[in-house]
Structure 1
Amino acid sequence: MAYSDIETASRDDLRELQDERLAETVQYAYDNVDFYREALDEAGVAPDDVRSVEDVSKLPFTTKEDFRDEYPDGLFAVDHGEVRRIHASSGTTGKPKIVSYTDGDLGVWREVMARSLHAAGVRPGQVVQNAYGYGLFTGGLGFHDGVEELGACVIPTGGGNTARQLDMLRDMESEVLACTPSYCLYLAEAAEERGVDPRELPLDTVVIGAEPFTDPMREEIEAALDVTAVDVYGLSEIIGPGVSIECEEAQEGLHVWEDHFLPEVVDPQTGEPVQEGEEGELVLTTLTKEALPVLRYRTGDMTALTYEECECGRTVARMDNVTGRTDDLIIVRGVNVYPSQIEEVMVDIADVAPHYRIDLYRRGNLDAMELTVEYHEDYEGGHDELERRIREELEETLEVKPDEIEVVGPGVIDRTEVGKVKRVYDHRDEE
């Protein structure tokens, strides 16, 4: 059962709505944002040239660098007096990407988040514990408003304070937990350390996002907490969480709410569109944003799209689980490596805990990659034997093998209670 009729609309009806909204958005951005007016003029594209979804490739891309260059409000389409909320996404340059919302935008956000939670199996009256960070990060308030819009009860625990999280899960009988996948595993470990079987917590569902994860890691979460783990996707520059989510029925791709967000997948090197089902970089265009319309935003997230109707009956496009980002790519001795490739191997080895760390160094003129992994608490064998197995598995997956592999005991690798987990530490510029 869908939350909104648009979720099961025919592709023709959905495309007609997208055509109309795309044309309106391009004209609106051209009229109200100097950046887009200049970008379209430079590209030789007039708003009247974009009348349907087929014309979207005529538009120039928007990048995260554009957000930073236009800091703080150069991409705003409304005066500050019409803005009702500001959020920000942190960046490596020290300048955050500032995003803004009108009353109308906040209404859309509440609706798509309620729609997302409903697709994940959350129902009115249930208790949802929200362990995403509040504040400038969009995760906490995005989930909070969506839970209330749906008619469920939200416990705004926010990130961290794991002892309190466990107390609230148990004492308030929270049925749903919203947090990052790495924090799910940390919470299960913390419960065991307190003598609590995490599988006996009242949780039925965890809604996980904000960082890439693999299917084996999802399976680890589901086994550790005895839950269904549903993947949610979003990003501040577009709206926050609520761009897409898996359905509880199939869990076969994340349903993109195409009436508000137009998805494309392009070759990350050339920027050219790829075929349906082919992996590339996700590009998103907002179709209803007022304060901050965004045209063809290069998300950096690697995924693929399919337009086949899901077994749940929803007809909107589905995107694959995001397992890596273009800017997460590690280049070691000229070879491309994604951390998700290493994670998938680690989680597939039963004697290895789902925690690892990659350190990159430059020794002479060559790159060196060191991998630190934890053995599972039930493992009773030797370090050398486990290291050999890890190395053999990685050699079958990676084109470049780690120079060193260190196996350490449970809990040695730092955990992340708040925010996104950090896996890669690049020391090459420090030497």
Structure 2
Amino acid sequence: MIIHEIETASREEVEQLQLMRLQETINRVYKKVSFYKKKFDELGVNPEDVSSIRDLIKLPFTLKKDLREHYPFGFFAVNQSEVIRIHASSGTSGKPTVVGYTKKDIKNWSELVARAISIAGGKAGEILHNAYGYGLFTGGLGLHYGGEELGMATVPVSGGNTDRQITLIEDFKPTVICCTPSYLLNIAERMVKQGKDPKRTSLKYAILGAEPWSEEMRRTIEKIFDLKACDIYGLSEVMGPGVSMECHEAQDGLHVAEDHFLVEVIDPNSLLPVPDGEDGELVFTSLTKEAFPIIRYRSGDIGSINRTKCKCGRTTIRMSRVKGRIDDMLIVRGVNVFPSEIEHFLLTIEEIEPHYQLHLFKKGSLQQIELQVEVTEEIFSEIHGDMNHGKINKLKKEIQNLIKNQCLVHVDVNILQPKSVPRSEGKAVRIVNHNESIKI
């Protein structure tokens, strides 16, 4: 269901609106944010120099480290009295990145997420089960306000307490569930353990995000639950969830909310734009944010863009699903590989469960990767729990050869008993680095 005229606007109409809002944003940050005034002046760029969308490349990039260096409120473009909400990243690798919202920002964000939920199949009058975490993380409240804005009865379950999640899904009968893909698998596994069939729930659509996931993971989830699984994208520095959303009709790229964001794809080394369809680093510029406008923010996420019309009828630019993050990329003897690429091929093997971790070790000067996966309950029963069984050794070689042939890297394979890989109630931990000096 298309609920906003921008979703079917012509390219000329979109760019006219974007240019007007870009010019307003540039003037705002030049006057209100000292970081941007200094950067603009260093580059010899004035707000008046931007007379076309193509002039965006004249503007400076913004990095996560810039936000941390101006912690907590150095990027705010309004008086403190106008800020009605503050979110922040986890800050696991240093100071958290802090973002603020005015009342208008919250209204815009709610409408954006409502649009995203609609694109994924949600409808007014239905029930939305929100299992994203609430708190400083933008996922929980972002989907919550969006669900209410769309007119859905929104259940603020948050993450964790999986048994309660299952009870509420059974009793409230939601049509939409929102969470990370790894946590939805966790819910399914728990249901099966309780003797319940995930296919028999009321769920029709899943809005999944906050971590890269492969097409094979999508197919696994859809088969287990008999629903449509769609990818949602957002990051707190740009707004939160709702920056782009995959439609349930085509499931072929995420429709960017172009009336609120400009998206670019650059080569992370040369910093130059790459052609449409080519992978690179996603870069975002906000067009309507008041409290925390941001210019050319380097997301660290790898993807591409597509300007062709989608079969759902929408004309907005589509992002590919995120392939991985620059800082998650493994460099193994000169070969670059993302965990999601390994996942894609790994999940084609029926004898293993869709739960895995990559453990990184250093032996001498060489990096080694150990892939930890679980055998299915059926296979475990068939071999009577003997993890030294010849069938396990054969499966190890099969997995090792598959990854070597398809991803061009050697991994040591450790096949574990069922339920051995840690489960996630939020973002899955795919990489465990046992030596921080290893380059990833």
Quote the offset at 1:414 in angstroms.
0.5
Residue identity in the other structure for 2:424: T
For 1:307 and 1:333, how far apart are their aligned partners in 2?
36
The residue matched to 2:206 in structure 1 has which SS?
A: strand
Q: Which residue of 1 aligns with 2:324?
A: 324
CA contact (8 A) 1:22 1:52 kept: no
2:138 alignment counterpart: 138
Q: Which residue of structure 2 lines up, in the alignment, with residue 148 of structure 1? A: 148
Identity in percent: 49
Residue 419 (structure 2) pairs with residue 424 (structure 1) = no
Name the structure 1 match of 2:187: 187
Q: Give every structure 1 segment of 4 or more consecutive aligned residues whose post-TM-superposition deviation is greater than 3 Å.
A: none
Q: How far did residue 363 of structure 1 move?
A: 1.4
Q: Which residue of 2 aligns with 1:259?
A: 259
Alpha-carbon distance, 1:400 to partner: 2.3
Does residue 26 (structure 1) correspond to residue 26 (structure 2)? The answer is yes
1:39 is paired with a residue whose SS is helix
Q: 1:412 aligns with which of 395, 411, 420?
A: 420
The aligned runs of 1:213-224 (5 Å cut-off) are 213-224=213-224
- The alignment's TM-score, normalised by the length of structure 2, stands at 0.96
Show CA shifts across 1:82-103 (max 9, x none).
0010000123333110000001
Give the structure 1 partner of residue 392 of structure 2.
383
Question: Which residue identity lines up with residue 200 of structure 2 in the other structure?
Answer: E
Shift of 1:367: 1.5
Following the alignment from structure 1 to structure 2, what is the Cα–Cα distance between the partners of residues 310 and 76? 36
For 1:136 and 1:168, how far apart are their aligned partners in 2? 24
Task: Give distance in 2, aligned partners of 1:356 and 1:258.
Answer: 36
- The secondary structure found in structure 2 opposite 1:429 is coil
Name 1:246's counterpart in structure 2: 246
Q: Shift in Å at residue 335 of structure 1?
A: 3.0
- Distance in 1, matches of 2:409 and 2:226, equals 36
Which residues in structure 2 correspond to 1:18-417 (within 5 Å)? Answer: 18-379=18-379, 380=382, 382-402=391-411, 404-417=412-425
**One-letter code of the match for 1:397?**
Q
Quick check: 1:302–1:324 contact (8 Å CA) kept in 2? yes
Q: CA deviation at 1:210?
A: 0.5
Q: Deviations over 1:157-184 (max 9, x none)?
A: 0001100000000011111100000011
| In structure 1, C-alpha distance between the alignment counterparts of 2:366 and 2:6, rounded to whole Å | 54
Q: Which moved more, 1:384-393 or 1:363-372?
A: 363-372
C-alpha deviation, 1:430, in angstroms: 7.5
1:373-394, Cα deviation, whole Å (9 max, x unpaired): 1122233462101101101101
For 1:31, give the aligned amino acid. K
Structure 1 alignment gaps of length 5 or more? none
Cα distance in 1 between the residues matched to 2:324 and 2:101: 28
For 1:375 and 1:49, the matched residues in 2 are separated by 60
- Secondary structure of 2:13's partner? helix
- Structure 1-normalised TM-score? 0.97
Hey, what's the Cα distance between the residues in 2 that align with 1:351 and 1:222? 18
- Displacement, 1:117? 0.6
Q: Distance in 1 between matches of 2:160 and 2:333?
A: 38
Match for 1:420: what amino acid? K
Task: Output the CA distance in 2 between the equivalents of 1:175 and 1:340.
Answer: 28
Q: Is the partner of 1:30 in helix, strand or coil?
A: helix
Alignment check: 8 A CA contact 1:68 1:96 kept: yes
Partner AA of 2:207 in structure 1 = V
State the distance in 1 between where 2:316 and 2:364 align: 52
Aligned length: 429
* Distance in 1 of aligned mates of 2:377 and 2:346: 15
SS in 2 for 1:178: strand
The Cα shift of 1:189 comes to 0.2
Letter in 1 for 2:354: P
The 1-side partners of 2:351 and 2:92 are apart by 35
